[in-house]
């Protein structure tokens, strides 16, 4: 069985002015896994996602999408959800999804069907005609996710997809992530919430621009002998202080 790498970052460096944001980060995703990127704010999670996506240039190092240098075409298989909702407030929910689907090359009946499908998946099928400006924060978040799903990508980059959502919807979204994974999709997700960490197949701990630990959540907690992934940050910090 050949193992393919949907996304791979190799020795990535990035600095803004004097501040080092990414310091030699390498990361490889396996097909069909949910990879959680965790770390305190300011650790460089968003920058890492943006570099992997090709929205920002790394100072050095290289990125591969589906085992080749990123091309525009590769974006067809890629779903991106940013921290901001990135929606057009003047338009209705349907028009938003319709636009993003068109940009991804979807046409006609297939597009229409798919829009209703994703709207149902995020529980917005009754609100499609509403203006996005009338949406609540949670509804916008879900619509934003729907826009990332609409073209059936194979790889998802989700930057804090569940921030500001109530636990019910959060749980529902994670069910959706597992469903997508079941269909063969690969997901990289950044998060603050620790109970979401347990649902990832693998996690990478990002601190001050470095991946300080990587592996399945359970293996990691056993390895460091701590009750939760959160404690690993503290343990490593302590070790660093000892040195």
Contacts with other proteins, residue ranges (CB under 8 A): 50, 53-57, 70-73, 75-76, 78, 80, 82-91, 95, 99-100, 102-105, 107, 131, 147, 157
For residue 75, the minimal CB distance to other proteins (Å) is 5
Q: Compare residues 112 and 171 and give the one whose CB is closer to other proteins.
A: 112
For residue 51, the minimal CB distance to other proteins (Å) is 8
For residue 215, the minimal CB distance to other proteins (Å) is 28
Q: Compare residues 89 and 175 and give the one whose CB is closer to other proteins.
A: 89
For residue 99, the minimal CB distance to other proteins (Å) is 5
* 214-220: Cβ within 8 A, 24+ apart: 214/27, 217/36
Residue 93 CB-density burial (10 A; 0-12 exposed, 13-18 middle, 19+ buried): buried
Q: Compare residues 79 and 217 and give the one whose CB is closer to other proteins.
A: 79
Q: Compare residues 43 and 157 and give the one whose CB is closer to other proteins.
A: 157
User: Which residues is 34 bridged to in the sheet?
Assistant: 187
What number of CA atoms fall less than 13 Å from residue 44's CA on the CB side?
A: 26
For residue 131, the minimal CB distance to other proteins (Å) is 8
Looking at residue 46, what DSSP letter applies?
A: H
Q: Compare residues 1 and 72 and give the one whose CB is closer to other proteins.
A: 72
Q: Compare residues 35 and 94 and give the one whose CB is closer to other proteins.
A: 94
For residue 105, the minimal CB distance to other proteins (Å) is 7
Angle between helix axes 93-103 and 108-121 (nearest 10 degrees) is: 130
The per-residue DSSP string of 144-155 comes to HHHHHHTT--SE
Tell me the chain's radius of gyration from C-alpha atoms.
18
Residue 7 phi, psi (nearest 5): -150, 140
Angle between helix axes 229-242 and 217-224 (nearest 10 degrees) is: 40
């Amino acid at each position: 069985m050949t193992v393919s790498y949907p996304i791979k970052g190799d020795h990535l460096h990035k600095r803004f002015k004097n501040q080092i944001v990414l310091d030699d980060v390498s990361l490889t995703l396996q097909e069909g896994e949910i990879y959680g990127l965790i770390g305190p704010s300011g650790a460089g999670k968003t920058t890492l996602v943006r570099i992997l996506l090709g929205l920002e240039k790394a100072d050095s190092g290289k990125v591969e999408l589906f085992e080749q240098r990123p091309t525009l075409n590769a974006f067809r298989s890629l779903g991106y959800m940013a921290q901001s909702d990135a929606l057009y407030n003047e338009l209705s929910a349907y028009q938003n999804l319709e636009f993003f689907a068109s940009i991804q090359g979807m046409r006609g009946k297939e597009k229409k069907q798919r829009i209703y499908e994703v709207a149902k998946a995020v529980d917005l099928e009754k609100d499609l005609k509403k203006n996005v400006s009338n949406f609540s924060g949670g509804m916008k978040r879900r619509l934003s996710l729907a826009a990332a799903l609409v073209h059936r990508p194979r790889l998802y980059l989700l930057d804090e997809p569940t921030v500001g959502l109530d636990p019910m919807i959060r749980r529902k979204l994670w069910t959706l992530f597992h469903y997508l994974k079941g269909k063969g999709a690969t997901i990289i997700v950044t998060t603050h919430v620790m109970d979401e960490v347990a649902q990832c197949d693998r996690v990478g701990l990002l601190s001050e621009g470095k991946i300080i630990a990587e592996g399945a959540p359970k293996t990691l907690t056993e390895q460091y002998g701590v009750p939760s992934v959160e404690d690993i940050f503290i343990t490593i910090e302590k070790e660093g202080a000892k040195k």
